[in-house]
Amino acid sequence: MAEEIRDLIEKINEEGVRAAEDKARTIEAAAHQRADEILIKATAEAEAMIAAAQERIRRDEEKERILLSQAGRDLLLSLREEINAMLGRIVVSEIREVLTPEVLVRLIAESVRNYSAGKSGDITVSVNARDLDVLENHFLKRLSDETNKTILLQPSEEISGGFFISFDDGKSCHDFSDKALAAYIGTHLKPRLNRILEDAIKE
């Protein structure tokens, strides 16, 4: 009887141990599965965060590159405008120095010879007041003799250097002012200057 009870107790103990072991294995397996799920989810979230961060960095770098490129273009345009303006001022200044009364006489005479053929109207030449005094006092007779034309001189506040000339009593005129000559020269100089600037940037 005692032996049967002992066998029963041992059997109960063995079954309890097995049940506990089975339960422990089940719990362990569930824990492993849960840990794997958490790890997979955490890895996916980490990869998504990394991808999002990389995309933000890429966008920021692209935005910075565009801003730098735009700033470079703006700087180049500003520099080009400033250099062109400086070139214009230099050309106007040089032309004003070159357009002495003696040079004006030669230019006016050449203009009359080239443009007045077949025209019967008065020839009117507009100059600034300073040049007008010199031309009237020293060169008007010479100018008339060289051109065989009657030339009327008149002052113009619009002209700082050079002259306007009309062959039809002032109905139309040709602009040989310092500003017009500078603009004409500038149209030939500026494209070359722009090419020099562009080549300098490429180096």
The predicted structure's pLDDT at residue 16:
64
The answer to whether domain 99-194 has CATH 3.30.2320.30 is: yes
pLDDT of residue 6: 66
For residue 4, what pLDDT is reported?
63
pLDDT-derived band at 197, boundaries 50, 70, 90:
low
Q: Which two tokens stand for residue 203?
A: 């180096």
CA distance readout (Å), 157 to 102, 154, 174? 21, 10, 16
- The H or E element containing residue 125 is strand 123-127
Pairing of strands 162-166, 151-155: unpaired
Say how far apart CA 83 and CA 194 lie, in whole Å. Answer: 9
pLDDT digits (tens, 9 = 90+) for 142-184: 777 777 777 888 998 888 888 898 887 777 788 888 888 888 8
Q: First CA to last CA across the chain, in angstroms?
A: 108
Task: Locate the domains of the chain by residue range.
Answer: 1-73, 99-194
Give the mean pLDDT of the chain: 78
pLDDT confidence of residue 29: 76
Task: Give the range with max mean pLDDT: 6-20, 29-43, 55-69.
Answer: 55-69
Give the pTM: 0.54
How is residue 18 written in tokens?
């097995």
Q: How confident is the model at residue 1 (pLDDT cuts 50, 70, 90)?
A: low
Tell me: the pLDDT tens digits for 95-108? 888 888 888 888 88
More confident residue, 58 or 190: 58
pLDDT at 201: 56
Check residue 122 and give its pLDDT.
74
